[in-house]
Each structure stands twice: as C-alpha cells, then as structure tokens.
A = this chain, B = another copy of it.
C-alpha cells in the first residue's frame, strides 16, 4: 500500500529491519556469559545446576536470564522432565553448535596470545 511511496527499492524497509535485527542478535550473543555457556555446553546435555557449577562465577540470575535469551533465539533447547524434584536439561541446537566453532576460535586466540597480551599490558601500564 504505502510501499514504494518514497525512494529506494521495494523492500528497502525489510533490509533495514534485517539490519537492526542482526545488530540486536549480535548484541545478545556478543556477551561474556552467553559465550561461556555455549563453550561449556559444547556437545553435552547439562542440567541447570550443572551449568551453574561449570560456568565459573555465574550467578543464578545471570544463568537463567541468559538461558532464556538463548532459548528465545533458538540457540539452546530446554527439556523439562516432569519429575519431582524437577529436572531441566539444556542442549545446544544446530545453530548453537554452529556458533561453537567461532567461540572455540576466540578461546584458542586468547590462549595463543596470552604472553603477547601480558607484555603489551606491562608496556602500556608504564
């Protein structure tokens, strides 16, 4: 209806929306906790409490918050066993697995450049 009333290709609006969406998603996953969760989950299936233990230093709140976000974005799958006490398990989805590669890359990079960074820091702090 109002499409193409102004300049630009027919679906210029779509492209802009896709861009802002991409930025939103990028901001979601480019955060320390999400990446660490992905890294820890790996190919395993872990319970909430197990994740809590394995992701060093994460709080209850941050863990649930990030798991919700990741579930919403289709990165993890949440499986609830209707037992008592409840048992909730998390796994990476296929897209989540795909992301793992780059996360691993970041970790590898970090370890590879540890000494370079340490000396760089000393030089800078002077």
Closest to A117 in B: B73
Q: Which residues of chain A in 96-126 are interfacial with respect to chain B, using CB atoms and an 8 Å cutoff? A: 98-99, 101-102, 105-107, 109-114, 116-121, 124-125
Specify how many copies of this chain sit in the oligomer.
2
Say if the beta carbon of A25 comes within 8 Å of chain B. yes
Interface size class for chain A?
A: 35 or more
User: What 19 additional pairs, Cβ within 8 angstroms, besides A22-B110, A102-B102, A102-B105?
Assistant: A18-B114, A21-B118, A22-B111, A25-B114, A26-B32, A26-B35, A26-B106, A26-B107, A30-B32, A30-B35, A31-B31, A72-B125, A73-B121, A74-B117, A74-B120, A95-B116, A95-B117, A98-B112, A105-B105
